[in-house]
Amino acid sequence: MKRRVVITGIGMISPLGHNSKLSWESVLAGRSGISQIKNNDYIKIPCKVAAFVSEETLNKEDIVNKYFTKSERRTMSRGTLFGMLAAEEALQDAQWKPDDTKSLESTGVCVGMGMADLVHICETREALNLGYSRVSPYFVPRILTNMVAGQISIKYGFQGPNHSVSTACATGAHSIGDAFRLIQNGHADVMVCGGAEASISPLSLAGFCRIRALSTAYNDDPSASSRPFDKDRDGFVMGEGSSILVLEELNHALARQIQIYGEILGYGMSGDASHLTAPHGEGKGAVLAMERAISDSNIIKEEITYINAHATSTQLGDAIELKAIKSLFQGHSPRIAISSTKGAHGHLLGAAGNLEACFTALACFYGLIPPTINLNNVCEEGYGLNIVANSMGKWQNERRIALKNSFGFGGTNACLCISSI
């Protein structure tokens, strides 16, 4: 039999808060972490809203200086720094900072990033214009997308699998799924996994605006700009941050008598084989990913009672995901609670699937379903479905089983099946 894998630690730094407690409380309360961009560097960009990690909070709490020296910070991009902060919280939460050889060798890391640090790339190009010696020796390490995993492994001495994923907006979910499989198949007993992202910049916003992916209709009302499943949605809002989970083999966790948030039951992947940026028109890739996650979990689809949707607030993507849910679950679909937390924190790209997987695990643990905020008029594809709008829902089932969907450009899809223990 394959080994069972549970969640024993959660760490977050997000537009909703600088730790998991604040982020969870904020998403349940329906607060928005999206603000207006006032920097003149963005003056030519049509989109003027984004979901930033609060610099005021970071500076006030002195979080960065508490955990890292100046020399350590020089080696890290902003995204890596977020990943390291989230990992520290997750490891503290799991009470897992071993120093014996066996434990270090059986603990691995799988953390990904969707995009490199474009700000650092642009700044370094300008520095090169002034002279070769102006280029930092840390330039390359800071733009490599596997360096969050590398830095975590080095800081804590973890010598198990050191793996990284970069699959656009499915990165975080794929990272968790790969970590799950590594434990399940005996390659590690503990995995530190998730994603990190800090790619908000004039260049990235310009690029996404050019493909008409970002919201521009709510520049003067940023908290209303991300509105999954709403008829008036007009694009996603870029966010930044990180969330990290500690996954652990069940008996390993039980022996430590540590709190368990939930269990990863299964993992499904698929490819749309359709388009560079648009999902398959009939949602075939999404259906396959969900179907495979359910099959991998050895459950029937009627046991699923919550779906944390990928829904980014784009016209096409949200509609196709709802179509896929109806197609797969048929008559059971109205009995499934559905929500997208991106209305509150925007779209964290490579750190989206993992942040939302953390919220899904906490939903399983507490029996509370985070709402989809700004959902005032449900789109046509949502008719007949139980989309949790604006206020949190209560999950009454004795055993709570959920799916977490994540889809990325290039037609890459991931689905995690998460349950209460």
So which residues are the catalytic ones?
A: 169, 310, 347
Give yes or no for a contact between 407 and 413, defined as CB atoms under 8 angstroms apart. yes
Residue with tokens 């005032």: 376
Give yes or no for a contact between 243 and 79, defined as CB atoms under 8 angstroms apart. no
Question: How far apart, in Å, are the Cα atoms of 47 and each of 119, 120, 208, 236?
Answer: 18, 21, 9, 10
Question: Does an H or E element contain 318, and which?
Answer: helix 315-329
Question: How far apart, in Å, are the Cα atoms of 65 and each of 11, 72, 81, 154, 385?
Answer: 18, 10, 11, 18, 47
Q: What is the helix, strand, coil percentage profile of the chain, to 5?
A: 45, 20, 35
Cα 335 to Cα 302: distance, rounded to the nearest angstrom: 9
Give me 237's structure tokens. 């809002």
Cα 386 to Cα 371: distance, rounded to the nearest angstrom: 11
Strands 241-249 and 412-419: unpaired
Strand partners, 306: 337, 402
Query: Where do the H-state alpha helices sit in 4-117?
Result: 20-29, 55-61, 63-67, 70-74, 78-94, 101-105
Cα 46 to Cα 44: distance, rounded to the nearest angstrom: 6
DSSP letter string, 228-286: TTBTT---B-BB-EEEEEEEEEHHHHHHHT----EEEEEEEEEE--S-SSSPPTT-HHH
- CB-neighbour burial class of residue 192 (10 A; exposed 0-12, middle 13-18, buried 19+): buried
3-state secondary structure of 94: helix
Strand partners, 7: 247, 262
